[in-house]
Structure 1
Amino acid sequence: MIIIFRNLKNKKILVIGIGNELRGDDGVGVYIINKVMQHFKKFGEVVNINNLYLINAKTSPESFTDKIKNINPDVIIIIDCAYLNKNPGEIEIIDIDKIDNYSLSSHTLPISIFIKYLKKFINSEFIVVGIQPKVIDFTFNLSDEVKKAGDKVAYEIIKLIE
């Protein structure tokens, strides 16, 4: 079991799921956000559940910068599929200072620039969670390995709230 969110209780947390649901495992960040929303039966692009905010950013997290600045969270967790040179479904916390060494999923603005921009306006801790994809192709389905990893991360987020 992963313990990526240890010591985050009692903080204002924002979790951003990034990905393209039409490209298989690239949609894992969106899958995770949707799974947490379904668990709590709260839906929308931006949802607040007991001081934990969820954003389903899909392929354009930069579209949410004003909302993120208004939320002004203590911690921002960004979840995306990433080429980690590991087995499919493996999860890694990516060092912010080394983020340019990783190929994250398809979105319009590199995550590193997105984070640098936000750091100019808010004093949040950033955690980037990368999940190694197996299939990045035109399909609506996650591979079994990535779905299992997504379920683990969703469970960890749910534990933060309950």
Structure 2
Amino acid sequence: MTVKVTVLGIGNQLMMDDGIGIYIVNELMKEKYLDLCYIIGESDIDYCIEVIYQTKKLVIIDAMMSEKAPCEISVFPLEDLTYNNTQVFSTHNLHFLNVMKHYKKKVEGFLIGIETEQVDFHYGLSLRLENEFFKILDKVKKELRSILIEMEGWEE
């Protein structure tokens, strides 16, 4: 069965803010936000690859590291990140997006990146991301809604 739009949370909860994508997608699932298909991929690249074969459009939510302030949100079209050799500022050594380049199926979608404050061995988010979690969640919801409108002409 092919799913129309999948929201995929990736990261590692044992590495502090690297797990923010998982925490956000878990919350969206609990709320049944926009009634989409939500998947927790964690850092399991093989499982994440299976997901792209079962969806038409994909939104990835993940931690990122760049020059931006912690908790800031950035949105990138997947095509720019996977097929046009744009550098992804990911917290992972081998990122799912790098692996996607080598698979036959191109998938339309976006990456919502959440700027980290601290990535280190510890379960749970840094104090700053934990304190700002619901503000981050609201920003992600706003971006997700905009993405769906752009991809689907979606309306509530």
What TM-score comes out, normalization by structure 2 length?
0.71
2:108 to 116, 121, 125: 125
**SS across alignment from 1:129:** strand
2:122 to 135, 139, 143: 139
Counterpart residue number, 1:39: 31
**SS across alignment from 1:31:** helix
Task: State the Cα RMSD in Å.
Answer: 2.9
Does the 8 Å contact 1:20/1:58 carry over to 2? yes
Structure 1: distance between partners of 2:119 and 2:137: 15
- Report how many aligned residue pairs link the two structures: 138
Structure 2: distance between partners of 1:80 and 1:54: 13
Counterpart residue number, 2:73: 91
1:153, distance to aligned residue in structure 2 (A): 1.1
2:46 to 42, 55, 62: 62
Does the 8 Å contact 1:31/1:150 carry over to 2? no
1:110 lines up with 2:95 in the alignment: yes
> Unpaired segments of 5 or more residues in structure 2?
149-154
Q: Which of the pair has the greater relative contact order for Cα pairs under 8 Å at 6+ separation? A: 1
Structure 1: distance between partners of 2:85 and 2:51: 26
Structure 1 vs Structure 2: percent identity of aligned residues?
Answer: 31
**SS across alignment from 2:102:** helix
> Unpaired segments of 5 or more residues in structure 1?
1-10, 42-48
Structure 2: distance between partners of 1:61 and 1:151: 27
1:39, distance to aligned residue in structure 2 (A): 1.3
Does the 8 Å contact 1:32/1:151 carry over to 2? no
Structure 2: distance between partners of 1:13 and 1:98: 24
**SS across alignment from 1:15:** strand
